[in-house]
Amino acid sequence: MPSFSSRALLLIASALGHKMGYRDLEEVRRKVEKQQRRPAAFGPPRRLDRHCRVTAHFRHGWPCYEVAPRAGDAGVQVLYLHGGAYIEEIGDNHWNLIEQLVTDGSARVIVPVHPLAPRGTAATVVPDLTALAGRLTADRSLPTVFMGDSAGGGLSVTLAQRLRDTGSTPPDELVLISPWLDVVMDNPALADLLPHDPMLGVEALRYCGSLWAGELDLAHPWVSPLRGELAGLPRTTVFAGTRDILTADARRFRDRATAEGVEVDFAEAAGQIHVYPLWPTAEGHQARRHLLASLPAPAGSPLVKR
């Protein structure tokens, strides 16, 4: 049974989902136009400075933040790729999770803020992100996790596939929060979930996906990693909710990846909406505890789950 706060969130999402999410095509077009006219702020909130050490570099021409424990050493490094359907900037819910990864998970979190679609596309952004990801995994002093929500979850899989295919060092683990894995959006199971999803719509998401795809086909694995090979991916934790149309392809990922030899921890929560682990509900708190417990221990340390 969902908690009161979870039910309240569902009511809010049902009432405002056309603005909160990506359900209405015309509203999404307006979001894209607004972002092009007046880009949203993306930097970390100042409160992070109280508990975290925040630095930034612009090696690729766009910001990449590093958020690390202010005291003590990090035990794991996380490449965090934010969601937003490739058209919206990182937001408060993302930074809240990043702060918790640092303070409760002793993680060093690398947060690239890459160009958004349509200015940034898979063909122009994925190579730079792959280079960044490869530098992180090549440093074996800490275990490395690729983590992302929604579009960032799909992008996490893409980067792991790219490193695998180029013979580079893979990440130790993937953590996918309501991942968007196939922008073609032709899974027949979507129809069963669509009436229950207050935030996402097929047509609106496919439009966002086409902007991200740019010159590439929607089915290209850089755009839709579920269309690529899954064998050889690292252990993967997936969070999904039954009021989220993207759960249809998350289930396909689970089934295919497991069949191809990938260890998958699949946490599906009844009655929960898109990216529910990012929300301040009882179910969101429980999911974040699960997420923190999934992080690998530093090399040479006993594997202790929190």
Q: What strands, in cross-sheet order, belong to the sheet with 52-57?
A: 52-57, 64-69, 107-112, 76-81, 144-149, 173-177, 235-243, 264-273
Bridge-based pairing of strands 76-81 and 64-69 is unpaired
Task: Enumerate residues 6+ apart whose C-beta is below 8 A from 305.
Answer: 293, 294
pTM beyond cutoff 0.85: yes
Write 95-100 long-range contacts (CB < 8 A, 24+).
95/44, 95/45, 95/48, 96/278, 97/277, 97/278, 97/288, 98/44, 98/48, 98/67, 99/47, 99/48, 99/51, 99/52, 99/67, 100/288, 100/292
The pLDDT profile of the chain, 306 residues, written as one tens digit per residue, is: 344 467 777 777 666 665 667 999 999 999 999 999 999 999 999 999 998 999 999 988 899 999 999 998 999 999 999 999 999 999 999 999 999 999 999 999 999 999 999 999 999 999 999 999 999 999 989 999 999 999 999 999 999 999 999 999 999 999 999 999 999 999 999 999 999 999 999 999 999 999 999 999 999 999 999 999 999 999 999 999 999 999 999 999 999 999 999 999 999 999 999 999 999 999 999 999 999 999 997 655 544 443
To the question of domain 4-294 being in CATH 1.10.287.3610, the answer is no
Q: Are strands 107-112 and 144-149 parallel, antiparallel or unpaired?
A: unpaired
